[in-house]
Every structure is written in structure tokens, then in C-alpha cells.
Structure 1
């Protein structure tokens, strides 16, 4: 391991101070405390998973890739089909973006709680339960008769997917040993997002202009059910032996902390509570001491901002094509194809090189690409051809989020104890999903405000809408620049991640 590599030390449980990220071979102390760099005498290396067979590897990768793929497929379906859905279901203009944002919001608000539950009852049963619920609520979205029903069913579908996402992270960490195979598994999970999004865009565009957008939800429900069957018969029972589950549910989960975390207005109470739990040596859903780790905190803030920008640009691109340039849903879906291609490439490359290059350089490069994409859309003119700005912006936008996906998962799962890997996955996905919702909500407020104050009489016309969309793109550009500065400061000295420990 090189001198700049990260050494991840796992201390014996129970602990009140989580393991920290430290720079191996240097005199720099761990980033979240002043303990010596060398581990104490009783320090032990976290238990590593045995190398899985080809059959197990195939099934696990299929399940984790498909579950993120289905979530992104639905996002693509709603993104490109939103104008048609709003017309058919008589969705009020002030609720136009709710079918997109409510899914991420309800998912983000329940991930920590369900991740904690998965660490007790097992990741496999939680994953399978989420598949069943996701199939049911996705089908219900396709059967919705008005806009409010669609919003409600999308909200419940967001809760359903939060059963699966942290469980999928836990399945990866307990199936694949540390090193290249785990890096590739996380990258594959991230790769399911652009693949699913591409399929969702295609189905949404084609169905909206032909047999109807509802068939997109129906097909997604069918695919999700097939994945449930594959997972039911093929996923290994990788969790440790479970016993006295009811007692563990009662004592091993910070229920009060999880409930407080659901409410944004109670964040100060949440910080006080988990600090008290940590001092008393009791379960704390996210120990306050973790936030003293500069790298962990920077990663979390960066994920929040990056995924917010990614989701906002994605949504406003669809509205730009259909409401400003006034092209069809099918033509819009075709214009989105560069995004999933670049996203898949970004995940593939990160999976292969994460253990070879400095993580801060990789993340900064991805953030710069997203920043350029936002800038191109901020200066675009509606009459310009697709190839001038929209095409490169579409290609560049996903790179930041997808490059960060592998790095952030490796960092976050490394600082949590081995017995709480589903919770660790919940932390990442909670931050990403809430970031997506907040990013879209804040940019929508800016766009609506600028459009309302424009000098055009027709506030729903292309010219007035474009003024608002342009302001939203400038906002995303500013957030991307701020994120790059954050990473340049917060990730300095991080070295490489995902390196197998000797």
C-alpha cells in the first residue's frame, strides 16, 4: 500500500468511538481525534467475507444492480413523462414537481430507520420485503386516477425502496471481501442507476406518445417482481445468525433517534440525543463523533449537494426540451441517452481505478464535469441546436454524482462497525435522496419566482419559462462550484480508497 493510502482500522465492539480514517505511513493523527496513528494492541481487523463463487456473485450483482436500476427507471419514466402525466391527471401547476421530489423525500426520511432494522433482522428479508412493496406501489402509480393519487403512491414507493437500498449495501459488504471485488460491486450498483434511467427515459418517451405512460409503471412492477423471485431463491443468507430478534429490535436500535431524524425541525434535538446515547455507551443511529472526521463530513455534505444538482439539472432539462423547445416526449427521451451512457462509464471506470488513484482527484474531476454541464445549460439559447450545449451538458451532468457514488460508499461503510453495514448504506442513501429532493425544491422555487417576475405576460409560455429555467441552471452551477471547493479542502490527504488491507 502506498504512503498516501487510507488505513481503515476496525476496533473491537462494543465501542463508543467509531473507527477513523488515518493516513498510513505518516505522522498525521486520525482526522476525527488525537489518538496515535498506530492501532492499540487490542485492535483487530474487521472480519472479511470469503470470496464468493461465480453463481453467488452473479445473483448478488443482479439483485443490487436491478434494485437501483428499477428506482432510476421510475425516475426516468417520471422525468420524461411528467408533462403528459400532469395533463392526463389534471395535476395543478404548483404540484407539478411533486411526483419527482416526493419519492426521494419519503425514501430519504426512512432510510436510517430501516437500515438499522435491517442490521437486526437481516438484510436479505428486508430486501425481499422491499421488493414486494415496491412492486405493489409501482403498480398502483400506473393505476392512479388523479394527480393526488399519483403523488401518494409515489410517496409510499419511496418508503418501499428504502427497505432495499441499505440492505443492498449490507449484502455487498458481507458477500465481497475488501478490495477490488467490493469496489467493482459498489460500482456495479451505481451503474444500475444510469442503465435504469436510460430504460425509463425510453419507455416514458415511447409510451407517453403511443399506448400511454401507465404501461411504464406496469412494466417496472413486472421487472421488480421477477427480481424478487430471483432474490428469494438465489440470494445467500449472509447475515449472522439471528436470535431473539424482538429483544434486539427493542434494545439494539436507537428508535427515538430514528424518529427524531425523520423530522427536519427536530435536528437540534437529534444532535443532542445521539450525543447523549454515545456518552452512555448506548446505540446511536449516527454518533456525533463521526462528524468530527473531516473526510466523512465532507463526503456527506458533498453527496447532498452533488445529488441535488444532478436531480435538478435532469428535471429541468426535460422541461426545457418539452416546454421551451416544445418537442415531443419521444424526442426528449432520445436527447437524454448520453446521460446514462456517461453515467455507466463513470461507474465502470471508478470501480476499476478506485484503489489506484487518489480519491480527491477523482471526485474533483467529476465535480468539474458536472459544473461545466450546468454552465452550458445556463448560457444556452432555445433556438440553438441540440449539439451546441444540450448534448455536452447531458453527457457531463451525471459524471460528478456517479464518480462520487463509489468513493462515498467505500468511505461511509468503512467508518461504521461491521455489524451496522445496512445502517451505513442508509446514511449514504439518506443524504443522497434528501439532497435530490432539496436540490429540486430549491431550484424550482428559484425558477418559479424568476418566471413570475419576468416581463412576459404569458407566464406559462416558453420565453417566461426559459427565464426561470436559466436561473435554476445558474443556481446549480453555483452549487457545483461550492461543492468543488468543499472537496478540495475536505478531502485533501485522503489518498486511495477501497484498498485491500494486508
Structure 2
């Protein structure tokens, strides 16, 4: 009886966190469908158009660490609320934009809001849901939204652009954001710890992440042979190395390095990077295949990915039950292996591969694997961490996932383009050859993620915040 009452009480905060995560991830993909309409109406040069997408990815990925640490120091619920306010206001500005410059600025502001909201939404799960069962359900729903948002972004982007116009891919966030904001009163805030991240660490860490994400987006735009991108990566790595050195002596570190003493948590971050590279890069490649080779419309392409949505729900739904008796490392490894198998299946595509026997099963396998892996790695990261570090621990996981998304898009797209150009073939067959090569690389990345997860992850029992041990067999 008490458990049922607790479940009813948890329903609203659960919906609030899940809806917020869905809204934030949705904007990774929803604008892609509207790009041609945006280009026509605002008369956008081809060189500026990709920044309607990249500005969001850049700000979101680069500022996640700062957003997570701000939540730890100044209040997680307060930081989450501030992020939702910024994101919602920026969405309204994006819908009202009269030039591409205004739209890019609005997208960057959306990214800033997302960087504040996303890591603190994950961290709020630990403080809002005290019961292990409810917390597992919340993590499951959170993980499902991470994958569903990408597919729903394509579907919703196609519907809104076709029926109401491209501006509604931004306006749709306004009522959702306001409802989420109203529901944040049900979230339990963690104890506030006054302080501020060290100024030098904040500057070095943020600058390093900005340059790293920017270099990755340049690879996506200019190919893997772009010398400027390699120079930018070198600068980013130098800044991040300096950042790590300063964190060792800082009184208020942006990233407490003690988080990485736990080998399981460290490998979870690396495994998440690989897990995101594979499915998200594959998602991009197969979406191109469906439109460029099979001639599907954007809306039909989005509908074709419905098996992916089903698989995400299945994987995220079954993972918490499996994690009650099986260590996170095994669940994460199985998830990555399923993803690798699905991606390898995709690499066999041809110009006339049948949908139900050749594409849908691979979509389902990749999605189930991504759902399983995401939940297992989230548990390995969040459970057992000190309360005053939950925000930054969550931010590091979010950062790994966002970097993986950006890397997946850039690297696999670059490999596909360079293979097609060097194949000597023409037309659809040359495109398919490039896609197949890129998908083989994606499968290898997922195999590496499985190996990273299974070796050191969960070598001793993790302890949840309620003091109960989590199996690490």
C-alpha cells in the first residue's frame, strides 16, 4: 500500500524529468528536417546553414561540465529551473528569428539552457526518488527519452514543417517548457553547498571543450583531412591537459578528480562515448541511405525508424530488472554487442535491401542495445557517488554522450564521403559503398565499447545512496 502511494507521489516529478530530457534531446535532430525550409525563407548561404544545428551541439556539449558543477554548488533544482527558462526563451526567439544570425544565436542559447538542465535532471533523480525501485524506473524512463528524442525529432520535425512551417519546430518547446517549469516544484532539491568553481578551471575546461566540439563539427563539414580541425584539436587537448593539472590543486575544482579513482566510473564514461558514436553515427548514415538511395521523404524516413523507438523502450524497460541481479558491466557489454551486431547487419545494405528483413531487425537490435547500455552505464556512474558530486558526475556522462553523438556524425559521415569519392563508382552504388564502409567502422567502435565496459566496470559491488549494494558479479 505504501509502495503504491509512493509511486503515485512520484508520478509528477517522473514526468517532469522525462519530459525535460525528451525536449532537450529532441533538439539534437528536430531542426535537421526544417533546414531546407529555413534556407529558402531566410535566404541562408550554404556555408552558414549547418550552424543552425552546430550552434546547439557546440554550446550544449561544451558547457555540460560547468552546468553540472553549478548545480552541485548552487542548487540542483535551481540550476535545472534556470536551464529550462533559458531554453524556453531561446526557443521562442528561434521561432521569431528574421535572419540566420538571430537563429544561430537562439540555437546557441538553447544549448546553454540544455547544458544547465540536462546534467541536473539526471542528478535530481537521486534526490527526488529515495526508493531504489522508483529510482530505477526514473533512470529507465530517462534513458528511454535519450533515444526516443532523436527519432521523435525527425517525426515531429517533418510533421510540423509540412503542416505549420519551420518556425513551429521552435515554438513547440514553449508550452512544453512552461509545463516542465511548473512541475519543478515537485522535485526534491539537494542540500545547497555555497561556493563557486575556480575561475581558471572554468575558463580552461570550457574553452577546451568548446574547441574540442568545434573541431569535431569541422570534421563533419570539411571532411577528415581538414588541417584546421587537427590544429584546433591539438589546442583543445593542450587546454584540457592544463585544466586537469590545475584541478589537482584547486580548492573548488570544476571536476573533482577523485571521481576517476573509481575504475568502474571511469570506464563507464569511455564506454558511453563509444556507445553513442555507434548508434548515432549509424542513425545518420541510414537516414541518408533512406533519402538519397531509396528516395523516401523526410516524414517517411522518420516513420521508418519506428522499430528503433520500440527497441529503445524495450531495452530501457528491461535493463533495471536485469541490473537487480547482474553487474552493470555485463549489461553494458551486451548492449554494445547488440549494437555492433545491428550495425554490422546494416553494413550489408544494397540499393534494394528490403525494409522488413534487411533494415528493421538491425534498427531494433541497435536500439535495444543502446537502451540496455545507457541504463547500465548511468547506474554505474550515478549510484554510489557523493551527493555533492552527483551533478558533475552526471555532467561527465552527458558530455561523453554528446561528444559521442558529435563524433559519430562527423567520423562516420567523413568516412562515407571519402569512400564514395575514392570508389571510382557513380550514383547510388557508390553512395552505398561509402555507407557500408562507415557502418563497418561503427560496428568496430561498438565492439571496443563492449570491451571497455566489461574489463574494469563493476569489479566490486557499487553502493546506492540508500546504502544497498548493487550486484557486481
- After TM superposition, the score normalised by the length of structure 2 is 0.83
SS in structure 1 opposite 2:459? coil
| Cα distance in 1 between the residues matched to 2:342 and 2:320 | 23
Tell me which moved more, 119-128 or 77-86. Answer: 77-86
SS in structure 1 opposite 2:165? coil
For residue 217 of structure 1, report the CA deviation from its aligned partner. 2.5
Q: Write out per-residue CA displacement over residues 292-316 of structure 1, whole angstroms, 9 at most, x where no aligned residue.
A: 5332221111111111222211122
| Cα distance in 2 between the residues matched to 1:148 and 1:450 | 34
SS in structure 2 opposite 1:206? helix
Is the aligned partner of 1:239 residue 2:190?
Answer: yes
Is the aligned partner of 1:125 residue 2:78?
Answer: yes
Matching residue of 2:294: 325
Aligned counterpart for 2:159 among listed residues 186, 191, 206: 206
Matching residue of 2:204: 260
Matching residue of 1:220: 173
For residue 54 of structure 1, report the CA deviation from its aligned partner. 4.8
Aligned counterpart for 1:75 among listed residues 28, 50, 56: 28
Q: Write out per-residue CA displacement over residues 339-376 of structure 1, whole angstroms, 9 at most, x where no aligned residue.
A: 11111121111123322222222112111111122112
| Cα distance in 2 between the residues matched to 1:269 and 1:405 | 29
For residue 67 of structure 1, report the CA deviation from its aligned partner. 0.9
* Bigger Rg, structure 1 or 2: 1
Change in Cα spacing, 1:338 to 1:102, as seen in structure 2 (3 Å) is: farther
Aligned counterpart for 1:469 among listed residues 410, 435, 450: 435
1:103–1:154 CA contact under 8 A, matched in 2: yes
Q: Write out per-residue CA displacement over residues 363-391 of structure 1, whole angstroms, 9 at most, x where no aligned residue.
A: 12111111122112211012122113221
| Cα distance in 2 between the residues matched to 1:95 and 1:316 | 22
Is the aligned partner of 1:490 residue 2:456?
Answer: yes
Matching residue of 2:281: 312
Matching residue of 1:366: 335
Matching residue of 1:434: 403
For residue 148 of structure 1, report the CA deviation from its aligned partner. 5.7
| Cα distance in 1 between the residues matched to 2:115 and 2:33 | 23
Matching residue of 1:6: none
1:359–1:494 CA contact under 8 A, matched in 2: no
| Cα distance in 2 between the residues matched to 1:52 and 1:307 | 37
| Cα distance in 1 between the residues matched to 2:14 and 2:399 | 22
What are the ranges of 5 or more consecutive residues in structure 2 without an aligned counterpart?
Answer: 213-234, 469-473
Paired residues in the alignment total 440
Matching residue of 1:350: 319
| Cα distance in 2 between the residues matched to 1:462 and 1:225 | 46
| Cα distance in 1 between the residues matched to 2:374 and 2:387 | 20
For residue 266 of structure 1, report the CA deviation from its aligned partner. 4.4
Aligned counterpart for 1:302 among listed residues 271, 276, 282: 271
Change in Cα spacing, 1:482 to 1:148, as seen in structure 2 (3 Å) is: farther
Q: Write out per-residue CA displacement over residues 21-72 of structure 1, whole angstroms, 9 at most, x where no aligned residue.
A: xxxxxxxxxxxxxxxxxxxxxxxxxxxxx99945651222111101111123
| Cα distance in 1 between the residues matched to 2:31 and 2:344 | 25
| Cα distance in 2 between the residues matched to 1:134 and 1:443 | 29
Is the aligned partner of 1:341 residue 2:313?
Answer: no
2:328–2:458 CA contact under 8 A, matched in 1: no
Mapping of residues 12-27 of structure 1, within 5 Å: none
1:51–1:176 CA contact under 8 A, matched in 2: no
Is the aligned partner of 1:136 residue 2:105?
Answer: no
| Cα distance in 1 between the residues matched to 2:419 and 2:40 | 24
2:66–2:202 CA contact under 8 A, matched in 1: yes
SS in structure 2 opposite 1:177? coil
Change in Cα spacing, 1:380 to 1:93, as seen in structure 2 (3 Å) is: farther
What are the ranges of 5 or more consecutive residues in structure 1 without an aligned counterpart?
Answer: 1-49
SS in structure 2 opposite 1:388? helix
For residue 132 of structure 1, report the CA deviation from its aligned partner. 1.5
1:79–1:100 CA contact under 8 A, matched in 2: yes
For residue 432 of structure 1, report the CA deviation from its aligned partner. 1.0
